[in-house]
Structure 1
Amino acid sequence: MKLTVFGATGGIGQEIVRQGLAAGHQVTAVVRDPARFTVEGERLEVRQADLTAPETLRGAVAGRDAVLSGLGARSRADAGIAARLTRSVLAAMEAEHVRRLLVVSAAPLGPVPDGHTVLDKTMLAIINSVLKDVYDDLRVMEGDLAASATDWTSVRPPKLTNKPVTGRYRSVVGGSPPRGRSLARADVAHAMLAMIDDPATVKQGVGVAY
């Protein structure tokens, strides 16, 4: 398949690119700073683009089978970036009639799963309070996805780690895995690539966790 990856210099984005190339896909990595991008491959194209300008992104998404985005805030100070930049991606995709889009969101945006203990619920409330601005940004992003013409999927992992890919994790369409407390960035990427052709995930939030 022909894939475009936004946020390709981030932890999840770089993993999507690496794993996509390893699976034989043709991958276009869209970056703001090529110096920060270290992945190489025969089927890789690297494009530098202004992510705030949809017109400059059209060439990066035209003719692609799917677009995958690792865009998001890296800290509370970045809150707002996910919705703003994803809006540019949506505009470019809609202009080029490209439909399949997968993005990274977060587990707290999904429903609280059955089996959560009082401690789990308390910790979730604390996390929601501390990262309120970040999660509000993601809620706006998901609202924009729902209003778009794309066949979107919002992948919602819990705490992210830098462990190697395992390919062994749980996923719940429209929900969250019970007691799912962490997931490696590499396995988030693995899940996103696996969902590209899964019709059950279209226009859905999908919880993923170990």
Structure 2
Amino acid sequence: MKIAMFGVTGNVGSVLLEQALDAGHDVEVLVRSPGKLATRSPHLSITEGDACDAAAVESVVAGTDAVLSTLGGFRGPESLSVGTAAIMGAMARHSVRRIVIMQGFHLHIEGDPRNVGKRLIGPIMKTVAPAIVRHAAIMGKAVGESDLDWTIVRAPRVIAGGPTGHMRTGMLKIGPWSTVTCGDVASLMLECLTSDRFVGDAPMIAS
């Protein structure tokens, strides 16, 4: 596939990029600081720009088959809402249907299990990063109401490490103490991208 990727200089994004290239995909990426991107490949095309710049986003999405986004919002929470809106707009104009997004499990989805961990993470995130919570909610609503073939992979605290081979997915009872490796998140996102698994769904993941 030819994949457009956003957020590739982050912990998960960099691993996801490596996995996508190792799987034989051609990848178009948008990065604000290309010098921070260590990966180089003849199958990788790099565009300098910001995810909130609709024109830059469109130049990366045009001609691709699908989109992967690990925009986290810590370097600018508006990238979650404004950036994702720009991505979806470009997808609509270029008839790209499939998008897989990573987000934290603080993002509430109707039907989430009620448990202590879920109740704890909301107040914690609203105290530590209220703007991220707000922009993530805007993004989640927009994606959920779109007609795209979307998946939002929701993760707890991400730690270094490759695929474990025993990740858990679905509507999980996880909390602030839960963790997931970068490799597990990347593996699930790629699996979703190349299949119809979790289309129109927002599974949680934990290692």
How far apart are 1:207 and its partner, in Å?
Answer: 0.9
**Structure 1 moving runs of 4+ over 6 Å:** none
- Whole-angstrom distance in 2 between the partners of 1:204 and 1:122: 21
Matches within 5 A, 1:9-88: 9-74=9-74, 78-88=76-86
Q: Which residue of 1 aligns with 2:206?
A: 209
How far apart are 1:109 and its partner, in Å?
Answer: 2.1
- Whole-angstrom distance in 2 between the partners of 1:21 and 1:167: 20
Q: Which residue of 2 aligns with 1:198?
A: 195
- Whole-angstrom distance in 1 between the partners of 2:27 and 2:147: 23
Q: Which residue of 2 aligns with 1:178?
A: 173
Change (3 A) 1:170 1:145: same
Q: Does 1:109 align with 2:104?
A: no
Secondary structure of 1:109's match? Answer: coil
Uncovered stretches (5+) of structure 1, i.e. residues with no partner: none
How far apart are 1:154 and its partner, in Å?
Answer: 0.8
Please give the TM-score of this superposition, normalised by the length of structure 1: 0.86
Q: Which residue of 2 aligns with 1:145?
A: 143
Change (3 A) 1:17 1:200: closer
Secondary structure of 1:154's match? Answer: strand
Q: Does 1:159 align with 2:154?
A: no
Change (3 A) 1:136 1:167: farther
- Whole-angstrom distance in 2 between the partners of 1:126 and 1:52: 28
How far apart are 1:160 and its partner, in Å?
Answer: 1.3
How far apart are 1:72 and its partner, in Å?
Answer: 1.9
How far apart are 1:53 and its partner, in Å?
Answer: 2.5
Number of equivalenced pairs: 202
1:84-121 Cα shifts (integer Å, max 9, x gaps) = 1111111111111111111111112245436x4x5x35
**1:88 counterpart letter in structure 2:** A
How far apart are 1:125 and its partner, in Å?
Answer: 4.6
**1:178 counterpart letter in structure 2:** K
Q: CA RMSD in A?
A: 2.1
- Whole-angstrom distance in 2 between the partners of 1:200 and 1:22: 21
> Do the aligned partners of 1:30 and 1:60 also contact (CA within 8 Å) in 2?
yes
